[in-house]
Every structure is written in structure tokens, then in C-alpha cells.
Structure 1
Amino acid sequence: MELNASQTVGKIATSLPGAAALFRRHGISFCCGGSDSIAAAAEAAGLSPEALVAELLGLVNAASTEAPDGTVDLINHIRTRYHDTHRAELISLIPLAAKVERVHGNHPDAPIGLADLLERIQGELDDHMHREEIFLFPLMERSDHQVLTRPIEQMRQEHDVKAQHLAALEHVTGGFHLPEGACNSWRALYTGTKKFADDLVQHMHLENEVLFPRFTGGTL
């Protein structure tokens, strides 16, 4: 993954594992200020662009360390670690979000719209993962990489849409910032949704930067 100070904060936050948390620590917004370059965001936060890029490069180097080497093993890892996990977590997060919105809807920091957003993500993500599981992954496991350029491009485009959803999650939760005195349900909701968001970034990174290049001119 290439990285330089001219790239936008929003793009990096939703494609590089760990970048969102790093930006939050430095007080850098990647939803409302997502179109800012890394250089501009660093200067606005009182940081040197070089220092921020160096921190991000450290994340780049660590981003794919959990990936198994073999293609079949990597696909199985994506299925079990991410596909199955996303499905299970969204099933519990959606009603929890609805509960928090219902009970705390009058609170100025209430995440109004979060349940609907999670439902939209669930529908699109489930369709995306299902098509990978029944079509794309079996082709990859058979090494039929010569026919995969078009479906991989479609999956990459769908990943870009999911990156927009990640920015929306950041916005509706205020960067997963809990108000003082937040109840246990609200805390559980933000903890679970943040984990889901972080997992989704890692999931897309493994596909975009590790798995897909093996079938678009790279080596198996």
C-alpha cells in the first residue's frame, strides 16, 4: 500500500488498519474533514506532516502480518475471521443500536440513525460476502485467475462504498465518543460497533492489498 502526505485522511482512515484510531488520538476528523490531505490535517493538529506519515507507515508495515501465506489458507481466514464474525456481530448490534436510540433519543449525543445505517451495511455486506463465497473464492481456490479481473474490480468498487459507510459510522457516533454517564448498553454498542468498523477495515485491506493482487497480475 502506497502512502504519502498528499493522500486524504478519509481514504487512509478507511483503508489502513489502525489509521482511524491514530487519527482519533491526534484529534483529526476523517468524517467531516475526510477530504483534507494528511499534510493539511497534520498541520491543523499541530503535528509535522513527516511525523504523521512516519506513524502511518508503521501501520502499513504491520497491516498484513496476520495474513496466512497460502491463498487457500488466506481465503479460509477471511471467511472465518471476518465474514462469519461480521454476520454474528451485526445481528446483535442492530437491535442494541435501536434500543439506545429509543431510550436516549433526547440526548444531544444520541447516535440517531445508527440502527438504520447498520441495517444498510448488513444488507450490502451480506450480499457482497455471499457473492465472494459462492463465486469469487472458489475460482481463486482453483487458481482460475485469468478470469478474475472484472469481478475483482467490482469487489473493489463495493469496498469503496463500504469505506463511505465507515465514515458515516464515525460521524453518527461522534468518533465513538461516549457522553458522561453513558449506560452499559450505550457503552456496549460503541465498543461493539468500533470493533466491527476496525475489523471491516482490516478485512478490506487483506482483500485489496494481499489477496486480490494475486489474481490481477501478481503471483500466487
Structure 2
Amino acid sequence: MGQILLVEDDRAISDMVRTYLVNEGFQVVTAFTGTEAVKKMRQKPYDLVLLDLMLPELNGMDVLQQLREKSYTPVIIMSAKDGDADKALGLGFGADDYVTKPFSMIELVARVKAVIRRSTTYQEGGEQTPSVLRVHELEMDLDGLVVRKNEDEISLTSKEWKILKLLLENQKRVLTKEQIYQAVWDDHYYGDEHVINVHVSRLREKIEDDLAKPAYIKTVWGIGYKLGEFK
């Protein structure tokens, strides 16, 4: 069903999770420190990484950052930290899901299967490069290079286009300002938030109904931005 790298320093939890996943048909390789995890990730590809945050030698966030420098391998964070800020930070660094300890093995396996299924569909082209990206009343036509809201065209600069496209391609994911800057400006980020804030502000002026309460581009304070969710 897939090869999983399980990174967990608590051997009792590691053994429990590994046994359950193996019984579900997965191949599981274990790592007990952050350094060991990075080494094993460089040795071979995996279909998924299950990653604890509180690790010896190298913490989980550092492991995740190193992985994301070279790979889009799906990652599910397993952590006893259940605060919104911790979850937002983990997702902002590129995790695909976040499971809070203690968790049920039924829930964990369901999330593992869902993340691998989404990743496989993306790699096979099922969800890759759609011609139109949509959220609520806003749509971006990638072939026609047009953004519309309620059928009315919206004129964007190239940077505004890239920011909006990045958000639409990463729905439900928090993007850090560093990730946005590197993707849009294709350069190293040195902590200057002003340029990003200005472009996001101008983009909001063009797509939002109420600038006092932005619905499409949500600010995640101290981290970055995410696309709004609509029912």
C-alpha cells in the first residue's frame, strides 16, 4: 500500500503505530531521532512521513524544513501540542495534516490513507495543473490568464496573480511569508515582510467585498496567509 517513515522517539508509541500500520498492509521504516530521520529520508523516497515534533538531536520542525527543501513527500505531524498556533506553524512549514496525541489508531490510519491517496492522485495527474482554480465566487482561468469574480474580470499584476495562484493551489494550507516570497519572487527571504504585505493588501482591494473583514485571504498572525473557507 505504501512505504512510510515513522519518526517517533517514544519506542512504545513507535512500536504500537508500526504494528498497526504493518497489519494494514504498509511497509514501515522507523527513526527515533531527528538526525536519523533526515539521514533515512536522503537514502530513499517514501510515500509518507509520520513525524513527531519533540525529537532528540533535531526537532520535528527542523526535520520538516529540511525535507521540504528537496521533496514534496506528504507529512503528517503527530504531536502532543494541540494549540492552534502549533498546528498552523506545522501546516505552514509544509505538513499535510496534523494529529494530536493521544490519537486513535483508526483515525490515524484513515488520515494516512487519505493523504497518500491525495498525493497519488496529484502525481498521476488527476488533480495536477487544473485549467481553472476556484473558491466561492472567485475563479482563475490558467489557460486564458483571467481572474473573474461573479463573471466580472479582475485585472491583476504579475505578482498579485502569482500570490493568488499560490493560495488557490494550496487551499486549507497556511503559507508562511517565507514560502510566499520564495515562490513569487524566486529569491531568498530575509525577513522583510513589507513587500509581501503591500502586495497582499492590493490584491485584497481587488477581490474582497469587505476589507475590514477579508474572506478570501486570511491572515494567520505571526506566520503568513491562507485561503478562506466557504460553506
TM-score bucket of the superposed structures, by smaller chain: under 0.3
Name which structure has the greater RCO, CA cutoff 8 Å, separation 6+.
1
Q: Structure 1 or 2: larger strand share? A: 2
Query: Which structure has the greater CA radius of gyration?
Result: 2
The TM-score with structure 2 as length reference comes to 0.25
More helix by share: 1
